[in-house]
């Protein structure tokens, strides 16, 4: 389909998805979210794409929820605002995050400028997050609006930076600069602004060389580790090796090692 609020391009196995409402700092409007879901669906069906880079057009990654239209878009007669938004979250917003985390390909977020509110949540749904030096993360939910972070922020933040920092960021609503976000382990790397897209696309190209099951297996392994005992996780690792060692990807890796070359998985 033809997109109005996003751009989708691909080259050499790497897709680049750009939020494209730069004049408004890329708010997550309903139309943008619908187009995101359609684009992610098309990527799942495209065998030529092996990695995805998500970024924002203009001076921002995303300013988050579109508060200016929250009272009008998607309203159903008889619903309160809370009921309307909750229904939309279940049917659309939450599904966007799940779509990203369920992609079989690895996902890179290239954060340019502010990633605020749900925009920060969107970035954190990626496997690898790289940010320009002028970028920052902002959680204005509670201090500005009296609501909790959403779209997975409360799931990702304490796991990445710990509960103390996650709680303080949420209650205080202070900007977290990209450099400090990297120091805290919230993101993979902070780079100079002019190097951001080159770095993100280079990461995408590297990740595109992984085995096709790479992103899914690594995500599942670390998610299992968050809840398993050591003994249970050892068994999880063993059971996965039992299957993966018998795949052609492992055989190719061994051949490449013996022949002193890079493996060719795809």
Number of domains in the chain: 2
The pTM (predicted TM-score) of the whole model is: 0.93
pLDDT tens figures, 130-174:
999 999 999 999 999 999 999 999 999 999 999 999 999 999 999
CA distances from 257 to 197, 212, 250, 251 (A): 32, 19, 11, 10
pLDDT tens figures, 180-236:
999 999 999 999 999 999 999 999 999 999 999 999 999 999 999 999 999 999 999
Dig out the tokens for 194 from the structure.
Answer: 């002019």
- Domain range for 12 is 6-207
Same structural domain for residues 132 and 195? yes
Same structural domain for residues 120 and 242? no
Residue 198, domain member (yes or no) = yes
Residue 266, domain member (yes or no) = no
SS3 content of the chain, % helix, strand, coil (to 5): 50, 15, 35
Dig out the tokens for 187 from the structure.
Answer: 């993101």
Same structural domain for residues 55 and 163? yes
């Amino acid at each position: 389909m033809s997109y109005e609020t996003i751009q989708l391009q691909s080259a050499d196995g790497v897709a680049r998805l750009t939020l494209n409402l730069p004049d408004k700092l890329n708010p997550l409007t309903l139309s943008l979210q619908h187009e995101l879901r359609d684009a992610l669906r098309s990527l799942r069906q495209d065998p030529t794409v092996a990695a995805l880079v998500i970024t924002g057009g203009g001076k921002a990654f995303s300013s988050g929820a579109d508060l200016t239209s929250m009272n009008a878009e998607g309203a159903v007669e008889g619903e309160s605002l809370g009921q309307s938004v909750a229904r939309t979250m279940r049917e659309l917003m939450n599904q966007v995050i799940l779509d990203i985390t369920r992609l079989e390909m690895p996902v890179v977020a290239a954060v340019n400028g502010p990633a605020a509110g749900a925009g920060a949540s969107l970035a954190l749904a990626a496997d690898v997050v790289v940010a320009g030096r002028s970028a920052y993360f902002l959680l204005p939910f509670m201090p500005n609006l009296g609501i909790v972070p959403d779209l997975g922020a409360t799931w990702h933040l304490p796991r990445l930076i710990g509960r103390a920092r996650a709680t303080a960021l949420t209650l205080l609503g202070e900007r977290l600069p990209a450099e400090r976000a990297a120091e805290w382990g919230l993101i993979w790397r902070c780079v100079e602004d002019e190097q951001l897209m080159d770095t993100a696309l280079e990461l995408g190209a590297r990740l595109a060389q992984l085995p096709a099951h790479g992103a899914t297996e690594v995500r599942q392994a670390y998610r299992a580790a968050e809840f398993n005992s050591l003994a249970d996780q050892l068994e999880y690792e063993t059971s996965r090796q039992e299957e993966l060692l018998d795949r052609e990807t492992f055989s190719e890796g061994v051949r490449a090692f013996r022949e002193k070359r890079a493996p060719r998985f795809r």
